[in-house]
Each structure stands twice: as C-alpha cells, then as structure tokens.
Amino acid sequence: MLISLSIKNYALIDNLQVNFNDGFSVITGETGAGKSILLGALSLVLGKRADLSSLKNADEKCVIEAAFSISNYHLQSLFKAEDFDYEEQTIIRREILPSGKSRAFVNDSPVNLNSLQLLGERLIDIHSQHQTLELTSNDFQFQIIDALANNDQELENYKTELKAHKVLQKQLNELVHFQTEAIKEYDYNSFLLKELVDANLVVGELESLEEEYETLNNVESIKEKLAESHQLLGEEQIGVISTLTLLKNSLQKLASMSSKYEDLFNRVNSSLIDLDDVFGEIDVFQEHLEANPNRLEAVNMKLQKLHNLMQKHATAEVSELINIKNNLEEKVSYTENLDDTIQKKQLEISKKEKDLNLISKNIHDKRLEVIPTLTKQLQDILMSLGMPNAQFKIDLSYADHYFTNGKDELSFLFSANKGGSFNELKKAASGGELSRIMLAIKSVLSKYIQLPTIMFDEIDTGVSGEISNKMGDIMLEMSKTMQVFSITHLPQIAAKGHSHFKVFKEDVNEVTQTNLVKLNHDERIVEIAQMLGGLEMSSSAIAHAKELLN
C-alpha cells in the first residue's frame, strides 16, 4: 500500500507531504484544483518519462518520493531479478534536474526506468475512464479467469515445461539443419578418412621409412665401405687389429717391468677389444646386407603417400595426420548416427509435449469450471450499476498450438442490451460501460488475489446518484482486502471513504499553488455539503452531508 507521498517543485506544487491510510480513501476538489497534477507526480514515481516542463522552479530540481508497504505483494523474486534491495517498506524517489536529466532510486539504489515501470505496475493501478483498453486485451481476460481458477501454480509449471520444450525444439531444428549441411560434406569427409585409414599411419613411421630408404637405395656403396673397413681392420700384415695386437704385446712387456706402464697397456687392450667387436659387427652387416628392389619400391611408395598426405593436409608430422584422421572419424560417425540422435530428440520432445498437454488440459478444465461463476458475478454487479441487461458470453476452446499461458483460445464477448448481439468488448461497450465493467472485474478479482493499490480517477463521471452510491459500496467492499483511492466529484462516493483528502489551489505571495490536505469530520461535512449544493451551503445540504457520512 501507498504509505506517504512527498512532492517538491513539481508543476503548481511547491512542497507537499502527505501520509495515507489503508482502506478506502477519497480525493475531492474543484475542477482544475490540481488532481491531475497529483496523478502526474505519482506517475513519475511509477516510471513515466519526465520533461523540464514538470519543474515549478526551473532553477531547482524536482523531487518526488513515495513510500510503500509491500510485505503482502510477494515481490521478492522481482526485486531479485531486477537487482533491487528488498525492504518491506520500500521508498521510490524520482529526481528531475534543471539540466533535464532524470534519475530514479529504489531504496536509495539507482535504477533504470524500465525496471521502475515493472515495479510500479505491481504497486499502483491508476484506473480512469480512458484507461480501460486492457479490458479488451486477451492476456488480461485470461488473467481474470486464471485468478478465479487459482491457476498460478499450474501456469508456473506450464511455463517451465514450455521453456524446456522450446529448448528441445531448437536443438532438434539445429540437428536437422546440421544434418542437411553434414550430408553435403559426408562423401568428401569419408573419402579423406579412407585415404588416411589406408595409409596405416604410425607415429615415428616417417623417420623409420626414410632411414630404410637411404639404406636400400645405397646398398652397393655401403657394401663397398663395409668391405674397405673390414680390410683395414683385419688385413694380416698391416691391418689395424694386427698392428694394435703388436702394440699391446709390447706394452704388456713394459707393464711387467714397471707398473707405471700398466695404464697404457690397459687402454690399448680395451681399444683392441672394442675394435674386435666392431670387426665382428661389420661381418654381420656384410652378411645380411643385400639389394632388395621390391622392398625399395614399397618403401618409396609409402614415403610418397605420406608426403602427399602431409602436403594435402598442410602438416609437418604423421602425428598431425593421425589427429586429422581422428577428427574425420568423429565427423563421419556423428553424421552416420544423426538419424538416431534426431529420433532420440524427437522422443524427448514427444514426452515433453505429453507433460505440457497434461498441464494445459488441467488449466483448461479449471478455467471452464469458473467461467459460469465469473459471468454471474460480473452480471450481478453490473445490474446494480445500472446495466440490468448486461450479458457476457465467454467461450474457451482447446487448441493444438502451445500459447504462453496454455493451449486455450478465448472469446470474451459482451452484449449491453436485451436481445442484442454479442460482440467484442471494445465494439459492444461504450466508454462509460467499459469503466463500470472494469470496476466490476476489479471488484471480483479483489476477492481472489492480492491486487496492488488501485486509484479510480473519476470513473463515476456521468453516473446517476443511485448508481454512484452502489459504485461507492463496491469500492468500500474492495478496500477490505486492499488499499483503494477514488478521485471523485460525487458526494455519495466521497462520504464512503475511511479517509478524505481535498485538493485545492491557493495564492501564496501572489503565486498559485496546489495543495492536498486530509479533512477531519467537520471539514468533511462542509466539503460534502458544498459538493451537494455549491459554495452557498444550505441547512438541507449540511443535513444531507451528515446523513451521507452517517
């Protein structure tokens, strides 16, 4: 509920501070006294865009501050989503600077206008005879029915499942699109993969093959060098081994004469042993070395294939080719298994649709169940408001399509006259009738859900005394569960308020200002008497005013 409103330097208001109560409050005042200024200031707090013309004094900033008690509004999730600091008594402040810049704060934290508008919609509903267009909105009509049907939890579940369904459907569409594109590449990728698989790639194979190729390609030269080395080592007269043997024998004799020659002997002996080993290995190499043209051709072909593949795939090592092969295997395998993947995704969607259909059918049934109750309540209220022949025809059909709030299509038709044809609200009802219909709907809703503070702005215009009396009763009844304001020109409604405020203009230092004061009991008698009979109050007007208040 709105606890207080402070306005500084706005339009004709210099400095205004007013506190409000719960229940039913009425605001009265002569035409042009400034009621629209109050609404304008309140609208700024709720997120309306501002301009410099709002400033009373163009050299000073305008500050409008409103305090709300929000403990019953269940706004914690909204505060969290918009990153507001949640306080059970929340203060909204709006500032308009002389530069034209506008700032907004929620509990002293700066916020943007879009976020402020979201919050404002949950705090105050300003309703005038010209603001009944939402009545003709299909979304609002569903909100009315769902409030009576107590569909909040079902709708939350439905929205959660619908969001999951949309994600699955998007994934399926992406898979189908990917499959279309992948099929185009499948043959090419399969060809590339077959080339790499046929190559039997092994890490380190390239270096091994290159070494084998060099050996096979130079067999005769290697044989010649091995024979030459064999002769140099093993020739009986001048071979290295023969000569080194003679050296070893000489040093052995020296070592027997003196230990200082023993190290030389050992070193030469060790070298002789190594050379004997080398000589033996050369024998083995000579024995096993032979020309193999077929193997040479095979190695050459394998090397050529590897070099071609590396050039084709722009790689420098066989390991890189193996990585490419693995990636191609994944792509080809994924493409080959896409049908199965798509089928599994379709099964997931089918299951999700079963869940959605179950929830939406429950929502549909609950809506159908309350439509007769809603129709009767609205028609009964409108009858008391001077529309005895008002009739509603609310049809609900179960569709194949998933909407944001279920699978229902709604036809909300109205007829104001006996024997008249049913038509859409915006075509069948006049402005005054729409205003009374909205009052009836808000009255019904107030019994089922916690509505924000509602401010009725002269919706009683053009209404007769008896009907206005009934309108006042309806607002008074609504105020039992919510805060209700009524800006009115009718004494019958003004007399029903728990609190009565008066808007008036006064001249201060030859400057006209708008002010708002709360009237006490005696002041209310005077105000209502003037509303009944004009400024020249008669004793009968005063008596009538007292009677209305009592």
The string of DSSP codes covering 512-545 is EEEEEEE--HHHHHHHHHHHHH-SS--HHHHHHH
d(CA 375, CA 368): 11
For residue 162, give the DSSP letter.
Answer: H
pLDDT of residue 186: 66
d(CA 374, CA 144): 9
Identify the pLDDT of residue 169: 95
Q: What pairs with residue 8 in β-bridges?
A: 15, 63
- The pLDDT value recorded for residue 69 is 94
Q: Which residues contact residue 211 at a Cβ distance below 8 angstroms, ignoring those fewer than 6 apart?
A: none
Question: Which tokens sit at 291?
Answer: 């020309």
The per-residue pLDDT for 448 is: 87
Backbone angles phi, psi at 500, to 5 degrees: -130, 120
Written as six digits, the tokens of 352 are 């999700």
Query: Residues 408-428: pLDDT tens digits?
Result: 999 999 998 887 788 888 788
Return the CA Rg of the chain. Answer: 48
Domain 1-129+458-519 has CATH 3.40.50.261: no
**pLDDT value at position 22?**
92
Contact between residue 251 and residue 264 where contact means Cβ atoms under 8 Å apart: yes
Helix 431-445 and helix 465-478, axial crossing angle in degrees, nearest 10 = 30
Measured CA to CA, the distance from residue 526 to residue 509 in angstroms comes to: 27
- How confident is the model at residue 63, as a pLDDT? 94
User: Which residue matches tokens 């728990």?
Assistant: 498
- Write down the pLDDT at residue 129: 59
**pLDDT at residue number 485:** 95
pTM > 0.85 = no
Write down the pLDDT at residue 131.
58
- Tell me the pairing of strands 406-415 and 391-403: antiparallel
Domain residue extents for the chain: 1-129+458-519, 132-173+344-451, 199-336
Predicted confidence at residue 301, as pLDDT, reads 84
**Which of 77, 117, 118, 109 has the alpha carbon at shortest distance from 90?**
109
Give the pLDDT of residue 247.
80
CA atoms within 13 A on the CB side of 512: 7
pLDDT at 417: 86
Neighbours of 499 (CB within 10 A): 17
C-beta atoms surrounding 448 within 10 Å: 16
The kind and range of the H/E element at 134 are none
What is the predicted pLDDT for the residue at 250? 85
In whole angstroms, give the CA distance from residue 136 to residue 366: 22
Closest among 66, 12, 58 to 35, alpha carbons compared: 12
Q: 132-173+344-451 has which fold?
A: Glutathione S-transferase Yfyf (Class Pi); Chain A, domain 2 (1.20.1050)
* pLDDT block averages, 10 residues each, the chain of length 550: 94 91 93 84 89 80 94 90 92 91 93 92 80 74 93 94 96 86 71 79 79 74 80 79 83 84 88 87 78 78 84 85 84 75 92 96 96 94 91 93 94 87 82 84 88 88 82 93 92 94 87 91 93 82 90
Residue 101 CA to residue 105 CA, distance in Å, equals 14
Residue 354 vs residues 158, 165, 286, 364: alpha-carbon distances, Å: 12, 11, 82, 15
Cα–Cα distance between 149 and 363 in angstroms, integer?
Answer: 8
Strands 406-415 and 499-508: unpaired
